[in-house]
Structure 1
Amino acid sequence: MPGRIRRDDIDEVRSRMSIVDVVSDHVTLKSAGVGSLKGLCPFHDERSPSFHVRPAIGRYHCFGCGEDGDVIGFVMAMDHTSFTETVERFAAQLGVTLRYEDGGAPQVEAGSRLRLLEASKAAAEFFQAQLLLPIAEPGQRFLGERGFDLAAAQRFGVGFAPQSFEALRTHLRGKGFTDDEQLRAGLLSEGQRGPYDRFRGRLVWPIRDVTGATVGFGARKLLDDDPGPKYLNTPETAIYHKSQVLYGLDLAKRDISKQREAVIVEGYTDVMACHLAGVTTAIATCGTAFGVDHIKVLRRVLGDVSTSDTTALGKVVFTFDPDEAGQKAASRAFAEEQRFAAQTFVAVAPDGLDPCDLRLQRGDDAVRRLIETRRPMFEFMLRRVVDAFDLETVEGRVQATRAAAPVLATIRDRALAEGYQRQLSGWLGVEPRDVVRALQAWRAQQGRQDARPQGRPGQGGPGAPGGAPVEPVQPQMTMQQLPKDPATILEREAIVAMLQQGGHVPEALRVRGATAHVGDETLRIVRDGILAELDHIAASGFSERVAAAVPPPLAPLVRELAIAPMIAGPRGVESSVRGVVVTLILRDILREKGELLGQLYRLREGDPAAARQLATRIDELDAERARMEEQR
């Protein structure tokens, strides 16, 4: 075995490798002041950048997780390579001849990551050369029928695997790669008679990591007598992990970073079609669903950082086929939507065409329009839920309202959530308060379910779609822990009134009072319990019903509120109860009116029709406010 690499050679390699260039292959870096750059840490999941690079001293440091090192350490951590392998890789890129302390030459252990990458690169070059030969006519025809010429194939490195059990194996052995190395790289499969070419008689796409290194392949079936699946991918290897690789990211990463936009499509040819049509931010998964690890990789390239400035947020556009598989893919994507700080959208092509077919039938402009006419993810999912019901019947509208509640519950932004609640009421032709009531009843129900004993540790429990959290609950809350600000005091007094003297709340005010906005999250859950049992508000034992409806940690608080002193005005209990509930409603009316006035100001010039609708709603709120004032 050779000795250690000489220290001065290591220093030369380290000094000549740009840490900014290397890190930028994985992380979008932005200026962080004089002599410093920052981005999302590639070593842990974060929403605000804490990963800093100092080019002048050649080091990186994450103030979030503590990771620290130089350019060699960064690659070792990202690619899981040894120190020697990393230095030898850099030296090969720079053309530096390394010397070893005992005078030996570099030796790379068979099956090491570097050798697997080299074998995969050689295989990609072999497949690309085969595509130009007459034996590749089935592959050439497949590409031509989908609108791809030779230049397109070369741009994406598309190749052809001969219909032979040992063509690739023999070629790579001639280049010094052993059968064991080829097996470890996923290029060969092991049979009863020994290793044989994994990909045969298929069109082959090289799958590259974010740095452009070939780590695997995706192969499309071409021949009728091929018994294999339509698409055959490289198995999991030391260099290929399908849950962490996005096809086309090496080509799209710079435009994704520059445009702050990524387009997720479903296949290799869809990526090609999008790029050729000018949508150069398109990427795809490799034979697996879009998951958490894909999101981590994409967020680093996208520079996906939480910010209150919505104009600075990135955009992620998903394209789905309208068939059942596409709808399932949409549900999976929606389940992970909240892992992005970026805004998420959905684009569905007309007539069920995927981007490749859309380009072939209607041209490049149609592909670009598909992405430009995307719809917000929440709107898409709500429409999908609503369309499953017969909205011509009362029953259908009620069922659609209830079915939409889990989707509404996942919207974190309060203003956005309330906007979709109003929009949904318009789609269904129901009152906005009916939507709010359905949402709050669903939350109350989820609170009861989450409070029930769960399975063994690690087992999932009930919750919102995709594991979205329900309202957080503090254990064993008491009245003393509630905030003492005027807004919370009003909310507490209104809830006390409804719990203790609900029979004195006029029927015309009960639903409106139980759906009025409550800012304190603990009181909001109690209010949801009141809403869930609203039909029994005038019955004896109402407070116990509410205590049973909320999560167990809040039951003591409900009982405490049910016996708390209630301030009665000079006109008696009934007048006081009505007055505090009306005050809560009036506050809610003013809040909604303020939001609508802001929207009206923004819409007046650009969308007169929408502005008129908002003005009508404002007039309705003014009329409701006048009616409420009369009932004080």
Structure 2
Amino acid sequence: MISQATIDTVFETARVEEVIGDFVHLKRAGSNFKGLSPFSDERSPSFMVSPAKGIWKDFSSGKGGNSVAFLMEHSHFTYPEAIRFLAKKYNIEIEETEQSDEDKLNTDVRESMYLVSEFAKKYFHDILLNSEEGKAIGLSYFKERGFTSDTIKKFSLGYSPETWDAFTKEALGKGYKMEFLESTGLTIAREDRPFDRFKSRVMFPIQSMSGRVLGFGGRILTNDKKSAKYLNSPESDIYHKSKVLYGIFQAKQSIAKLNNCFLVEGYTDVIQFNQAGIENVVASSGTALTPDQIRLINRLTKNITVLFDGDAAGLRASVRGIDLILEEGMNVKVCAFPDGEDPDSFARKTSYDDLVAYLDTNAKDFIQFKASLLMNDAKNDPVKKADLIRDMVTSISKIPDRIQREIYIQECSRIMDISEQVLTSTLAQLVQKDITEVGKKVKQDQKAFEVVKNESPVQGAKVDVLYRLERKIIEILLLYGNKTEEFEDVFLKTNEDGEIENVIERKEYKVYQRVYLSLQEDEVELANPLFRDIFNDLIQYFLQNENLEIEKYLMHLNSDFAQEVTDILMEDERVVLHNWEGQNIIPKTKSETIGQYVSETILTMRWYLVDKIIDELKNSVSNEPGSDNTESMSMAMDYYKLINSFSKKLGRVMSRYS
């Protein structure tokens, strides 16, 4: 187990904006950062990171927390995995404490698969560089491809020996279990004896965006027609081919920085481009492009440039992925290489400057690309030309943004020499068809909602008011609990004439003390069970700790507490998303008048609770003849006077909540 000292060091060192910045393209927004949600498909930013508070909040999905919580949500790490990842990122030495047999027994299955895959990556890489067979076969192949030692190291390229079970024997000898060698697909089990899946192949580790080894691609170097040229790991709990992109780990920072991603087909395309100096490139690994892969890129940039081989057959096969990219609301350009060239071969013989110039010059808008690609087939055939135009309009219909659709219709009209009216009419039919299909689903959802809505009684405003007030109490403790502020204390005192009068004294308190004493004085306990538990936990924390360090505090909370605390802390960051200051609207910050804000919140809560007592008294009044309601009416009048005093203190006109 990881020692508490190591965990504390990780939390003290990790900067939430740096950790998240490796996965999400963040833009500064005042003292915070904002970006597109990595957890949902959206067009405008709803993801906020607060370096000062050390936390993040995704307003679209409701998720939030510290840097560890982000890694657990985003990369599906376990808690120990997230700590290890951050320790590695910040070069923190991990101090281990001895695990009990029970702890070892409970080791996560996925973690075991990751560990086996990581071992395999290191094993294949070591065989490539240090064994005679690896150097003679694998390393010489990579050198022939023009890969340098630095490139081979960067992508952890490797070689699997020709011996049937060389890897399996080594892994078992190191204590790795056969069940995980099988579940990752590294070993194929047979009754007589297990053998290595990737025997006699050069190896390409496939990594997640966070760098975890998910699976492998292996290329055979012999001319054995019975064996596939490329072989991938089978689907498993950690490897889903449709959800990963080769090279995303090495490319993520460059993609976010340059705000563009080059998409290629093969492993060597990615590696050769990297070596040429262009790092913002990923591959679909020979599979048809999927929405999940596109969304992976969408976390980092809205712009994709698809790079195709020069052969016409490959172009037509690959162009089908363009519609998927458009459907995800992304901007797409297409660049084809000369006949007989692919990204690998072209990058190998082209200087960096010439390669960049070629990509800039030849990257075409998808409309221009489709027109140039398919026009040769259509030529003077009206039917084929009509099909081509319909195909182009179908692509345009996938674009969510109406303005973009309009612009592309104009461009298509110009290129294909056909009226905008005809294209617009065709587009409207296609869009309407999509809307009709979506509408059917919405109607079904609405019916379900109506049933739920009719069965659920509408809660009155009183519950909402109390909820908001109690939430404010928690917010005050989280933001200002240990701050010292000056508050007014009001005492009843007999003067020299024997009259009772109010005496106001100003006295300093810690904010948490003032809140706690005020609620104790009123004998009030928070009604919301979650808020009540968090309140009690916070008071205990303040009594035992001088300062509230949010990240450390979140560490010891259960998931429900931690999520609610994060939601409350990040609530104010919503105003940053709307850029009020850019519109000359300056939101007032609570930190300017903390004492006043605390006093107002407590007074408002008192007002609300007294108002409830008045309602109870009114309901207790009997309308029966001869009933004596004098006491109830007298008490109600006293409470009305109390509300009047609250009103004066709050400096506003008296109004009741009910």
Pair 409,160 (structure 1): closer, same or farther in 2 beyond 3 Å: same
Note closer, same or farther for the CA distance 1:420–1:241 as it changes in structure 2 (3 Å cut): closer
Deviation string, structure 1 residues 442-496 (Cα, Å, up to 9, x no partner): 6448758987999x989xxxxxxxxxxxxxxxxxxxxxxxxxxxxxxxxxxxxxx
For 1:25 and 1:442, how far apart are their aligned partners in 2?
39
1:351-391 alpha-carbon deviations (Å, 9 max, x no partner): 14111122345555554344222101122123334332123
SS of 1:118's partner is helix
1:62 maps to a residue whose letter is: D
Counterpart of 2:50 in structure 1 is 54
Q: Among 117, 120, 124, which residue is 2:117 paired with?
A: 120
Q: Decide which of 309, 312, 319 is 1:330's aligned counterpart.
A: 319
Give the secondary-structure state (helix, strand or coil) at the position aligned to 1:131.
helix
Q: Does the 8 A contact of 1:40 with 1:47 survive in 2?
A: yes
Distance 1:344 1:452 in 2: 26
Matches within 5 A, 1:373-412: 373-391=362-380, 400-401=388-389, 404-410=392-398
Match of 1:227 in 2: 226
Report the counterpart of residue 440 of structure 1 in structure 2: 425
Alignment partner, residue 131 of structure 1: 128
| TM-score, scaled relative to structure 2 | 0.59
Q: Deviations over 1:164-199 (max 9, x none)?
A: 221111222233212222223332122232432111
1:180-259 equivalences in 2 (<5 Å): 180-225=179-224, 227-259=226-258
Determine helix, strand or coil for the equivalent of 1:250.
helix
Whole-angstrom CA distance in 1 between matches of 2:165 and 2:201:
14
Task: Give 2:95's aligned amino acid.
Answer: T
Contact 1:299–1:340 (CA under 8 A) maintained in structure 2 = no
Report the Cα offset of residue 320 of structure 1: 1.6
Partner of 1:310: none
Q: Which residue of 2 aligns with 1:94?
A: 92
Alignment match, 2:578: none
Number of equivalent positions: 436
Q: How does 1:248-327 map to 2 (within 5 A)?
A: 248-302=247-301, 304=302, 315-321=303-309, 322-327=311-316
Aligned to 2:12: 15
Partner Cα separation in structure 2 for residue 156 and residue 65 of structure 1 = 34
Q: TM-score, normalised by structure 1?
A: 0.61
- Indicate the residue corresponding to 1:475 in structure 2: none
Select which of 324, 332, 337 maps to 1:349: 337
Shift of 1:255: 1.3
Deviations 1:21-73, CA, capped at 9 Å, x for gaps? 33223212222222x22222222222212111222332221122211222332
Task: State the shift of 1:397 in Å.
Answer: 5.3
Moved more, 62-71 or 378-387: 378-387
Retained in 1: the 8 A contact 2:264–2:308? yes
Q: Is the 8 A contact 1:120 1:215 kept in 2?
A: yes
In the other structure, the counterpart of 2:328 is 339
Q: Quick one: structure 1 residues 106 and 14, their matched pair in 2 at CA, closer, same or farther if it must change by over 3 Å? A: farther
The alignment partner of 1:31 has SS state of strand
Report how far residue 336 of structure 1 moved.
Answer: 2.8
Aligned-residue CA RMSD in angstroms?
A: 3.5
Distance in 1 between the 2:436 and 2:100 partners?
68
Alignment partners' CA distance in 2, 1:252 and 1:375: 22
Whole-angstrom distance in 2 between the partners of 1:420 and 1:70: 42
Query: Aligned in 2, Cα 1:446/1:7: closer, same or farther, shift over 3 Å?
Result: closer
Other-structure match for 1:616: none
Larger of the two Rg values belongs to structure: 2
Note closer, same or farther for the CA distance 1:380–1:173 as it changes in structure 2 (3 Å cut).
same
- Superposed counterparts of 1:578-617, under 5 Å: none
In the TM superposition, residue 350 of structure 1 has moved relative to its aligned partner by 0.7
SS in 1 for 2:377: coil
CA change 1:73–1:194 in 2 (3 A) is: farther
Which of 58, 67, 70 lines up with 1:71 in the alignment? 67
Moved more, 121-130 or 324-333: 324-333
* C-alpha separation in 2, matches of 1:117 and 1:110: 12
Q: Deviations over 1:404-429 (max 9, x none)?
A: 4434444566665555545545544x
> Separation in 1 of the partners of 2:411 and 2:328?
25
Alpha-carbon spacing, 1:206–1:421, altered in 2? closer, same or farther (3 Å): same
The aligned residue for residue 543 of structure 1 is: none
**How far is the alpha carbon of 1:99 from its aligned partner?**
5.3
Structure 1 residue 289, shift from structure 2 partner: 2.0
Contact in 2 for aligned 1:348/1:370 (Cα 8 Å): no
Amino acid at match of 1:255: S
Structure with the larger RCO, 1 or 2 (CA within 8 Å, 6+ apart): 2
Using a 3 Å threshold, how does the CA distance of structure 1 residues 174 and 261 change in structure 2: closer, same or farther?
same
How far residue 248 of structure 1 moved from its aligned partner, in angstroms, is 1.3
Unaligned runs of 5+ in 1: 305-314, 459-632
For residues 212-234 of structure 1, the C-alpha deviation after alignment (integer angstroms, 9 at most, x for no partner) is 22222111121123733111111
Does the aligned pair in 2 maintain the 1:292–1:336 contact within 8 Å?
Answer: yes
Does the CA-based 8 Å contact 2:160-2:198 persist in structure 1?
yes
SS in 1 for 2:224: coil
| Identity across the alignment (%) | 28
Aligned equivalents of 1:23, 1:451: Cα separation in 2: 39
Which stretches in structure 2 are left out of the alignment for 5+ residues?
Answer: 443-658
Q: Deviations over 1:567-625 (max 9, x none)?
A: xxxxxxxxxxxxxxxxxxxxxxxxxxxxxxxxxxxxxxxxxxxxxxxxxxxxxxxxxxx
Change over 3 Å in CA distance of 1:409–1:91 after alignment to 2:
closer
What SS does the corresponding residue of 2:334 show, helix, strand or coil?
A: strand
Post-superposition Cα deviations, 1:301-346, rounded to whole Å, max 9, x if no partner, equal 22x4xxxxxxxxxx310012234244222112333323134x2100
Q: For 2:52, what is the secondary structure of its paired residue?
A: coil
Distance in structure 2 (CA, Å) of the matches to 1:25 and 1:357: 30
